[in-house]
Amino acid sequence: MSVYGWVIFGLGMADFMLMIAVLAGLRKVVNEFRYIRRETDYQYRERIEAKGDLVTTAHSEVRYNRDKLEANRDDYYGIYPWYVFASQSVALFPLLGILGTVWGLASGNLADVATLVSGLGMALDTTIYGLCCAISLKFVDAFFLGRLVNRVDSEFEKADSAINRQSLNELISLAMGVSQRQKLSREADNAKA
């Protein structure tokens, strides 16, 4: 194996180790969602307008701890640039293989068969190492890291949607409470008059 082939192999191993570190960080972010999300079941009774029947309805609501969610989001935003770097660097390996091929062919002397053969050997080595590194790293990226990043993004979207619903319900109940108080104070004023 040529020196250039070892360089490509070493860079591939460094990128693989970076992917493993990113994978560990993403798994930590995913596992934190268990502690951020809590599901509450509750029942309440409501009267149906038409017949006046009393009906018990069970509801389930998912609530998120906003502080823990934001801390988890900060962890994710700390990991994500490294994921992008590791994912984008995969595209460099075929280019490094082609560069080694050109370098190997250019270093071969047409007058001397031995240097020509060693140049061709270097060209083939670098091409093979560049392609093997790119294919294996792309596999790790697509099947492990990419899926985990999509899962984390989906969890954050669900959490944001639930928090928005929760905030909207709090605002509605606050507005309803204010209007109820105004109605009661008007009725009390009317009763005094």
Q: What is the pLDDT of residues 143-178, one digit of tens each?
A: 999 999 999 999 999 888 888 888 887 777 777 766
- Does residue 70 carry a pLDDT above 80? yes
The pLDDT score that the predictor gives to residue 54 is 56
pLDDT of residue 6 exceeding 70, the answer is yes
Share of the chain above pLDDT 90, in %: 31
Which of the two residues, 52 and 158, has the higher pLDDT score?
Answer: 158
Q: What contacts 166, CB < 8 A, 6 or more positions away?
A: 63, 64
Average pLDDT over residues 28-41: 80
* Model confidence band, residue 60 (pLDDT cutoffs 50, 70, 90): low
pLDDT value of residue 112: 76
* Residue 167 near residue 64, CB atoms below 8 Å: no
What's at 134, amino acid-wise? A
Cβ burial, residue 91 (10 Å; 0-12/13-18/19+): exposed
* pTM to 2 decimal places: 0.70
Count of CB atoms within 10 A of residue 187's CB?
Answer: 10
Contact assessment for residue 100 and residue 121, using Cβ atoms and an 8 Å cutoff? no
The residue range of the domain holding 76 is: 3-192
pLDDT score of 121: 79
Closest CA to 61 of 145, 181, 163, 178: 163
Confidence of residue 136 (pLDDT cuts 50, 70, 90): very high
When divided into structural domains, the chain yields a total of 1
